[in-house]
């Protein structure tokens, strides 16, 4: 039961946080750890510690640091196991002894202290399942929203500020779905782990476009809430003038945020395809506005509920106010 709940939590978080946290393939997790190990090996000055008998070693999952003969080195479970785990308990550690013949066999083994596949779910199958699920979801969303856009554009009687905001929100959802398909097509054009080493300008441009679409989507969701709140608060609502500012916020603010993020990545964290966000400070340029829009939208939602309850409880609701509820 606990493992089933844990699995559902992983799936839920993967779907909710997908726009913010890029879902790395298990092969890429291993390749990233290997690159980090190679960098540590290259930076280590072996001549300064000649007494060390066991040198750096990469065993395809863990990077073992140098040690003296007789020393026991303990290492935590590799990151791959932690990401794919279905257990609630903390993992143990694995160890190797430094002997005259070199590194000894590992004890205990990964399968004994780093369980992740007890129910037969491999990391590849987990990743493929999540990828297939969000692909079906985005495909359904793309078809439905495209149909809605055709209807709103076709009938002139539906053209108003409220529906224009809806149309911009639909466009942001459509672009978000398209950007996901383009990203997957570029990053996973190779069936093997070669996609982990893509460093082209085309790949980085796709990631910039992907983050722009995600940010635009969140900002237009924020504008939907702001529009409803303003509609209830202001008696005389200059919709056309406000729509101009809504457009600037919805499409302009994400442009600034993504441009700043791209410049920072290019100068301070120009690694890979910009799909891995190890630098937390730079990542907040994208994540910060998204979280801020969600929090503000939640506050607006509470405010809208309070205003509606107050108006419904008011004994002098006139006919003039009925138009507001028709708009909602």
Q: Is residue 14 part of a domain?
A: yes
CA distances from 52 to 44, 94, 97 (A): 12, 21, 13
Q: How many domains does the chain have?
A: 2
Q: Is residue 9 part of a domain?
A: yes
Q: What is the structure's pLDDT at 12?
A: 41
Find the CATH number of the domain harbouring 7.
4.10.1240.10
User: Could you tell me if 82 and 129 lie in one domain?
Assistant: no
User: Could you tell me if 317 and 263 lie in one domain?
Assistant: yes
The range of the structural domain enclosing residue 163 comes to 123-327
Query: If we measure between CA atoms, which residue out of 255, 252, 232 comes closest to residue 244?
Result: 252
Q: How would you classify residue 97: left for phi > 0, otherwise alpha for psi between -120 and 50, otherwise beta?
A: beta
pLDDT along the chain (328 residues), means of 10: 41 43 60 80 63 78 84 80 52 81 82 61 64 86 91 85 90 93 78 61 90 94 90 72 86 94 90 79 91 93 90 66 48
Q: Is residue 166 part of a domain?
A: yes
Q: CA 119, CA 242: separation in Å to the nearest integer?
A: 55
User: Could you tell me if 103 and 134 lie in one domain?
Assistant: no
| Tally of residues, the chain | 328
Handedness of CA 40, 45, 47, 48 (dihedral sign): negative
Find the CATH number of the domain harbouring 204.
1.20.1070.10
Which DSSP helix (H) or strand (E) runs through 53? none
User: What are the DSSP E strand ranges found in 152-265?
Assistant: none
Q: Final residue of a domain: which of 52, 82, 113?
A: 113
User: Could you tell me if 137 and 270 lie in one domain?
Assistant: yes
CA distances from 137 to 113, 149, 253 (A): 36, 18, 27
* 186 Cβ neighbours under 8 A, 6+ residues apart: 198, 202, 203, 206
Q: Is residue 25 part of a domain?
A: yes
User: Could you tell me if 132 and 109 lie in one domain?
Assistant: no
User: Could you tell me if 312 and 172 lie in one domain?
Assistant: yes
Q: Is residue 179 part of a domain?
A: yes
User: What are the DSSP E strand ranges found in 79-219?
Assistant: 93-99, 102-103
User: Could you tell me if 169 and 266 lie in one domain?
Assistant: yes
User: Could you tell me if 192 and 279 lie in one domain?
Assistant: yes
Query: 77 is written with which tokens?
Result: 């479970």
Q: CA 288, CA 320: separation in Å to the nearest integer?
A: 41
Contact of 67 with 73, CB cutoff 8 Å: yes
Which DSSP helix (H) or strand (E) runs through 311? helix 280-313
User: Could you tell me if 82 and 175 lie in one domain?
Assistant: no
Contact of 246 with 225, CB cutoff 8 Å: no
Residue 76 bridge partners (DSSP): 93
Q: Final residue of a domain: which of 63, 88, 113?
A: 113
CA distances from 312 to 271, 309, 320, 321 (A): 56, 5, 14, 10
User: Could you tell me if 164 and 309 lie in one domain?
Assistant: yes
Q: How far is CA 53 from the centre of its chain?
A: 43
Using the 8-state DSSP alphabet, how is residue 77 labeled? Answer: P
- ∠ CA(53), CA(58), CA(63), 5° rounding? 85
Q: Final residue of a domain: which of 62, 80, 113?
A: 113
User: Could you tell me if 153 and 81 lie in one domain?
Assistant: no
Q: Is residue 118 part of a domain?
A: no
User: Could you tell me if 165 and 62 lie in one domain?
Assistant: no
pTM (global) more than 0.85: no
């Amino acid at each position: 039961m606990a493992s089933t709940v844990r699995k559902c939590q992983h799936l839920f978080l993967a779907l909710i946080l997908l726009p913010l946290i890029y879902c790395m393939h298990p092969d890429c997790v291993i390749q990233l750890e290997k690159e980090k190990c190679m960098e540590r090996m290259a930076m280590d000055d072996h001549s300064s510690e000649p007494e060390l008998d066991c040198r750096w070693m990469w065993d395809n999952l863990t990077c073992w640091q140098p040690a003296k003969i007789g020393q026991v080195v303990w290492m935590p479970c590799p990151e791959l196991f932690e990401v794919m785990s279905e257990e609630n308990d903390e993992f143990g550690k694995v160890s190797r002894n430094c002997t005259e013949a070199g590194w000894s066999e590992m004890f205990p083994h990964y399968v004994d202290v780093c369980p992740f596949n007890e129910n037969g779910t491999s990391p590849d199958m987990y990743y493929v399942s999540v990828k297939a699920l969000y692909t079906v979801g985005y495909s359904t969303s793309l078809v439905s929203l495209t149909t809605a856009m055709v209807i709103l554009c076709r009938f002139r009687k539906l053209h108003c500020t409220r529906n224009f905001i809806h149309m911009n929100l639909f466009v942001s959802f459509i672009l978000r779905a398209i950007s996901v398909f383009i990203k997957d097509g570029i990053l996973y054009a190779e069936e093997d782990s070669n996609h982990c080493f893509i460093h082209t300008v085309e790949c980085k441009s796709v990631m910039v476009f992907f983050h722009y679409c995600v940010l635009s989507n969140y900002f237009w969701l924020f504008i939907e809430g702001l529009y409803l709140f303003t509609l209830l608060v202001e008696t005389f609502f200059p919709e056309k003038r406000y729509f101009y500012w809504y457009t600037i916020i919805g499409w302009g603010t994400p442009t600034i945020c993504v441009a700043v993020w791209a410049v920072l990545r290019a100068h301070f964290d120009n690694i890979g395809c910009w799909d891995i966000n190890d630098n937390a400070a730079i990542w907040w340029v994208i994540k910060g506005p998204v979280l801020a829009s969600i929090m503000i939208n939640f506050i607006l939602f509470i405010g809208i509920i309070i205003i509606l309850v107050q108006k419904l409880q008011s004994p002098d609701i006139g006919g003039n106010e009925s138009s507001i509820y028709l708009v909602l």
